[in-house]
Chain A
Amino acid sequence: MFIQCKSALAALILVGAMPFAQAADKPTDPQIAHIAYTAGTLDIEAAKQALKKSKNKDVLAFAHDMVRDHEAVNVQALDLVKKLKVTPEDNATSQALTKAAAEERAKLAKLKGAAFDKAYVDNEVAYHKQVNGALETLLIPSASNTELKGLLETGLKIFEGHEQHAEHVASMLK
């Protein structure tokens, strides 16, 4: 059981790492804005699933925090794109992220109780790690507008915080 879980997690991280690996070209600002907004929206959807399914108070509190923070980031992102007159542009990375998240949600939908809690929180750790990596190595260096870059840098700090928060919740579930 343990080995099964571990290899499933490893597979998940591998699958999860793919969306950004596919983006060989440097994304444009409209694409970066779309990717950042999508990454936040997907985490909100994951949290909403947890709010419906979980009964663990630490998991529920964490999911609430994710909804609140990512909604706040996305409000700022929308305000900024409006101000900069940038229209977020759908792209292969956003689509791959969305597809991977839909698959994860379908997987989580079949789980219950402690198994769901663990899978959700483990995926939150992996997901935030993946987005952080992308922000640091691809999205922030590629952003040409300084204000967009600044918002992404704040987003990175938020995501890093969430990663640590998720790791803490994961350690409490053991």
Chain B
Amino acid sequence: MRAMVLSPHLGLSLALVVMATPVKAETIQVTIDKLVFSPASVEAKVGDTIKWVNKDAFAHTATVKNGWEVMIPPKKSASLTLKAAGTVDYFCRFHPNMTGHIAVAP
């Protein structure tokens, strides 16, 4: 019923968004505890979401050099949906000794 009030244009763009979303996108959880990403290495595919759950009382980041950065506040979580295939190494900008790896399949 609600679709009736939407403009045809908005209806079309909504349809495109739905079509572009892979059917079986998953959320992969990476826990941060005592300055360690675990699992340190994950395998994912384009469209999957990485969810970092920070158990520390410290803020961390998941940062890719010359790429994206996700801020993960203390005792909170933060997510990123993977848009491109390839492998990325990330680190925490505040504590560069914290490192992780994501292999993203197309």
Q: How does the 8 Å CB contact mask read for B79-97 relative to A, with 1 for contact and 0 for none?
A: 0000000000000111111
A69 and chain B: residue at smallest CB distance? B58
| CB pair A154 B35 closer than 8 Å | yes
B76 close to chain A: CB less than 8 A? no
| Least Cβ–Cβ distance between B63 and chain A, in angstroms | 12
Which of A73, A161, A164, A168 has most chain B Cβ within 10 Å? Answer: A161
Query: A165 vs B58: C-alpha distance in the bound complex, in angstroms?
Result: 15
| CB pair B94 A168 closer than 8 Å | no
Query: A65 vs B58: C-alpha distance in the bound complex, in angstroms?
Result: 10
Task: Kindly identify, within residues 147 to 168 of chain A, every residue whose CB is under 8 Å from any CB belonging to chain B.
Answer: 153-154, 157-158, 160-162, 164-165, 168
Query: A65 vs B57: C-alpha distance in the bound complex, in angstroms?
Result: 13
Query: A69 vs B56: C-alpha distance in the bound complex, in angstroms?
Result: 11
Q: How does the 8 Å CB contact mask read for B21-65 relative to A, with 1 for contact and 0 for none?
A: 000000000000011100000000000000000000111000000
Q: How many A-B residue pairs have CB under 8 A?
A: 41
Majority-rule SS of B interface residues: loop
Interface residues on B, range: 10 to 19
Interface size on A, residues (CB 8 A): 17
| CB pair A161 B98 closer than 8 Å | yes
Query: A165 vs B35: C-alpha distance in the bound complex, in angstroms?
Result: 14
Residue of B36, B74, B98 touching A72 (CB-CB under 8 A): B74
**What B residues does A164 contact at CB under 8 A?**
95-97
| CB pair A68 B59 closer than 8 Å | yes
Which of B36, B59, B94 has most chain A Cβ within 10 Å? Answer: B94
Residues in B lying within 8 Å of A, measured CB to CB: 34-36, 57-59, 74, 92-98
Residues in A lying within 8 Å of B, measured CB to CB: 65, 68-69, 72-73, 75-76, 153-154, 157-158, 160-162, 164-165, 168
For the complex of A and B, 6 pairs with smallest distance between CB atoms: A161-B95, A157-B35, A164-B96, A72-B57, A161-B97, A154-B34
